[in-house]
Amino acid sequence: MSAEIREGSAKAWGGRFASTPDKRLEAFNASVNFDVRFIREDLRGSVAHVRMLGRQGIIPVEDAKTIEDGLWLIWDEVEAETFRLTIADEDVHTGAERRLREIIGPVTGKLHTGRSRNDQVGNDFRLWTKDALLRMISGTLDLMDALLEVAGNYPDAIMPGYTHLQRAQPVLLAHHLLAYVEMLTRDVDRLKGALRRTDVLVLGSAAMAGATYPLDREFVARDLGFAAISRNSMDGVSDRDFVLDALSAGAILMMHISRLSEEIIFWSSGEAKFLSLSDAFSTGSSIMPQKKNADVAELARGKTGRVYGNLMGMLTVTKGTPLTYNKDFQEDKEGLFDTVDTCLIVLDVVPPMLTTATFKTDRMLEAAIADFSLATDVADHLARNGVPFREAHEVVGKLVGLCASRGISFSDLTDGEWADVHPLFAKQKPPLTALESVSARDVPGGTAPNRVHAAHAEAVKRAAEERVWLRHEQKRLANVMSRNSTGPEEAW
């Protein structure tokens, strides 16, 4: 669908003006190049509105039926990709009304009874955003499923956990991946919260003070599948919190993906060598033939910046706008469109990058106990046997320094050297394997294998339940946004 420059048509607001707009104003003022994205939402909202006008006797039923039939003809043109908007249309709402007038004539003018472009655009945008949020939730669940699949493929693989990007303690790879599942679970919750706050009908707010006609807003809400109606007309036309909600949830989601991407980049580096990415999700160098670059992860990390920018841009747009509608709000769409597009393309490519990667479990296990990663286990062993932890910490710290100065590890120490460190070690040595280390952390949320396996099963169940909810919501919205939709009850 496109917008093309055409000689000007009459403006919906032109009655007050003695001359036509300057071409530069027309181009500057137009939003038709981007708000065309919710042409279906605009048509569907108009269908619900005109049904209500006819049912309420605000306009003759015959006129309402004629208008609805004409709107569905435009819908068919949209589906056939023959519908065109122009710069002269100014926005998608005016363009749809212009085309409707071409099809059914002057009766078109009755469609706008009891409605303003202010509540019309807010409602269109909410309908579009509901679908966008559901698609983002679906993509987030895809990423969760990918992480759960990899965790299930490597249930007992051990790797080093890090703090300050220094090797800290051994953990299960599955435990590490499940940490991201937890983050994404919160992302789904945030997106669902944004959806709940978006799911509000604002039609009926009119320009800003409400309408003088006996509108049945509850009927329109049912027809369009909205869960509630706005409670204040001024807030209804000027609220853009739902846009900020979606932008914020998208920014936090991308932050989590960026963190995961950073790990993939590091794990696939020559320094770590923990995994090998599939050739299908890697790129090379134009000059260095040996290179295999994690460009998917790098680009996902980089795209996070533009999503942050969209959020900050919208916060800045709205911070100084008085009640009610202001032209500034025309800037609310492109940023959200870009954020949704960015999130969806990232969520499309990152999951298969993960599931096709090969983890080098031997290398990970070797690294898991390097650099004295078992030092905490040694200190805990002393503390469990009555040595105050601070004393144990100091003893083991000195042991690490001694080993580091000699260039040896704990496993290189003789029985006598262990006994010299602390008398307890003469009787019982501390855990000296990665498996002993992870198995000892048998607490809720810990990295012990039995805990991680149970957490994995629970996460799989939780993700499946979210899928059931998602399919229900997608079906509900698809029924609303259908050519055959007849409303909550017989419209006529």
Q: Is residue 170 part of a domain?
A: yes
CATH of the domain at 147: 1.20.200.10
pLDDT for position 15: 64
Note the pLDDT tens digit of each residue in 369-428: 988 888 888 898 889 889 999 998 998 898 889 889 998 888 888 888 888 888 888 888
Note the pLDDT tens digit of each residue in 249-308: 999 999 999 999 999 999 999 999 999 999 998 887 778 877 788 999 999 999 999 999
93 flagged as catalytic: no
- Tell me, yes or no, whether 143 and 270 share the same domain: yes
Give the residue from 312, 340, 366 where a domain finishes. 366
| Average pLDDT for 179-194 | 98
- Tell me, yes or no, whether 286 and 178 share the same domain: yes
Residue for token pair 């108009």: 46
Give the residue from 113, 139, 171 where a domain finishes. 113
- Tell me, yes or no, whether 217 and 231 share the same domain: yes
Q: Which residue is catalytic, options 19, 164, 286, 405?
A: 164
- Tell me, yes or no, whether 174 and 232 share the same domain: yes
- Tell me, yes or no, whether 103 and 190 share the same domain: no
164 flagged as catalytic: yes
Gap between the Cα atoms of 96 and 9, Å rounded: 13
- Tell me, yes or no, whether 261 and 357 share the same domain: yes
- Tell me, yes or no, whether 155 and 193 share the same domain: yes
- Tell me, yes or no, whether 68 and 189 share the same domain: no
| Average pLDDT for 117-125 | 95
Q: Please give the torsion angle defined by the CA atoms of residues 147, 149, 150 and 155, in that order, rounded to the nearest 10 degrees.
A: 120
Gap between the Cα atoms of 281 and 283, Å rounded: 7
Q: Is residue 278 part of a domain?
A: yes
Q: Residue 59, Cα to own-chain centre: how many angstroms?
A: 42
CATH of the domain at 105: 1.10.275.10
Q: Record the tokens describing residue 12, joined without a space.
A: 């919906």
What is the identity of the amino acid at 123?
Answer: N
Q: Is residue 107 part of a domain?
A: yes
Structurally, the chain folds into a number of domains equal to 3
Q: Is residue 176 part of a domain?
A: yes
Range of the domain at 58: 22-113
- Tell me, yes or no, whether 173 and 266 share the same domain: yes
- Tell me, yes or no, whether 66 and 159 share the same domain: no
Q: Which residue is catalytic, options 2, 269, 285, 482?
A: 285
- Tell me, yes or no, whether 59 and 154 share the same domain: no
Q: Is residue 59 part of a domain?
A: yes
Q: Is residue 438 part of a domain?
A: no
CB 58: neighbour CB atoms within 10 A? 18
**pTM as predicted:** 0.91
Q: Is residue 187 part of a domain?
A: yes
- Tell me, yes or no, whether 68 and 196 share the same domain: no
Q: Is residue 459 part of a domain?
A: no
Give the residue from 366, 384, 405 where a domain finishes. 366
CATH of the domain at 423: 1.10.40.30
